[in-house]
Amino acid sequence: ETKPRTPVVWVHGLECTCCSESFIRSAHPLAKDVVLSMISLDYDDTLMAAAGHAAEAAFEETIAKYKGNYILAVEGNPPLNEDGMFCITGGKPFVEKLRHAAEGAKAIISWGACASYGCVQAAAPNPTQATPVHKVITDKPIIKVPGCPPIAEVMTGVITYMLTFDRMPELDRQGRPAMFYSQRIHDKCYRRPHFDAGQFVEHWDDENARKGYCLYKMGCKGPTTYNACSTVRWNGGVSFPIQSGHGCIGCSEDGFWDQGSFYDRL
Ligand code: SF4
Ligand code: SF4
Ligand code: F3S
């Protein structure tokens, strides 16, 4: 309780803000406990009360005061084309802000598919040259927490681990926390017995869909997607896409837009 709270600087590039929307819905730990008791969220352009010049002043003050000691959380990515002019924040290209903030960070968290892999804005032909964080910042430890968005409890779980043990979580070959991304959706899917038995939904809303059969023939990407949805689930553990009747679209995999994850088979 006497330990100083770890400063976190949370910046936003090209993104939709739903990673933040996911984060604030964390049920365990509650997002409010993370923000008010566990970390010191000294800058976050979407959650902070300050705006405009006051917010930018807080940004500069925080990265100067806590140089070498803060965690940089990145939501979204920088577009590099035309000197970064496709994403301007505080009057400057976001890529400049990202590089500036990364200089004094002790570690970087890439939230979601945008920061980790590029997501929709990096889909072909990627006119803005939207680029994932690790391809721009190459001299800092980076933790990728992919998903579009990532699961709330995975986000707060990563932060909780780093604060509790004062180290990075174990990462897999792609730089994702192994504790949440080492298994495929398919490995723990409750519809797996139907897959093994060859019982598949053949058309949307057919009799087999009503029976809850496997969604593989409807394009489910669960067999090739590494994420914790079939174990941690969403909305405080209530459900996940497959439980709602739709196959996984592989939102936590690299390049999921260009790989045709959306509706291969209608
Ligand atoms: Fe939005 Fe998905 Fe990007 Fe997160 S990863 S900011 S949810 S588009
Ligand atoms: Fe695997 Fe998808 Fe079928 Fe679940 S619904 S068993 S993840 S193919
Ligand atoms: Fe994304 Fe598939 Fe989970 S679409 S939310 S990784 S079930």
What pLDDT score does 256 carry?
Answer: 87
Residue to mutate, 199, 200, 242, 265, ligand 2, most ligand atoms under 8 Å from C-beta = 242
Ligand 2 centre from 249 Cα, in Å?
Answer: 11
Gap between the terminal Cα atoms of the chain: 54
What pLDDT score does 265 carry?
Answer: 45
User: Which ligand 3 atom is at minimum distance from the Cα of 222?
Assistant: 2
What pLDDT score does 259 carry?
Answer: 84
CA distance 25 to 14: 22
Collapse the DSSP code of 264 into the 3-class scheme (helix H, G, I; strand E, B; otherwise coil) and give the result: coil
Give this complex's ipTM: 0.98
Using an 8 Å Cβ cutoff, are 228 and 85 in contact?
Answer: no
User: Which ligand 3 atom is at minimum distance from the Cα of 249?
Assistant: 4
- Phi-psi category of residue 235: left, alpha or beta, with phi > 0 → left and psi -120 to 50 → alpha: left
SS (H, E, C) 246-259: CCCCCCCCCCCCCC
What pLDDT score does 266 carry?
Answer: 41
pTM reported for the whole predicted model: 0.96
Contacts of 252 (CB under 8 A, 6+ apart): 113, 146, 147, 148, 150, 181, 225, 226, 227
What pLDDT score does 93 carry?
Answer: 98
- Which ligand is nearest to the Cα of residue 149, counting in written order? 1
What pLDDT score does 264 carry?
Answer: 53
What pLDDT score does 124 carry?
Answer: 93
Ligand 3 centre from 248 Cα, in Å?
Answer: 5
* Residue 13 structure tokens: 């590039």
Flag residues of the chain having pLDDT under 70.
1, 262-266
What are the C-alpha distances in Å from 84 to residues 77, 102, 115, 260?
11, 17, 15, 28
- Which ligand is nearest to the Cα of residue 15, counting in written order? 1
* Residue 36 structure tokens: 């008010």
Upstream peptide bond of 29 is cis (omega within 30 degrees of 0) = yes
Q: What is the distance, to the nearest Å, from the Cα of residue 239 to the centroid of all Cα atoms in its chain?
A: 18
What pLDDT score does 260 carry?
Answer: 72
**Whole-number CA gyration radius for the chain:** 19
User: Which ligand 1 atom is at minimum distance from the Cα of 21?
Assistant: 7
What pLDDT score does 263 carry?
Answer: 61
Ligand 3 centre from 259 Cα, in Å?
Answer: 15
**Which residues' Cβ are closer than 6 Å to ligand 3?**
147, 185, 225, 227, 229, 240-242, 248-252
**Which residues' Cβ are closer than 6 Å to ligand 1?**
15-16, 18-19, 75-76, 112-114, 119, 148-149
User: Which ligand 2 atom is at minimum distance from the Cα of 221?
Assistant: 2
Residue 42 phi, psi (nearest 5): -80, -20
Residue 140, burial from CB neighbour count under 10 angstroms (0-12, 13-18, 19+): middle
CA distance 219 to 46: 35
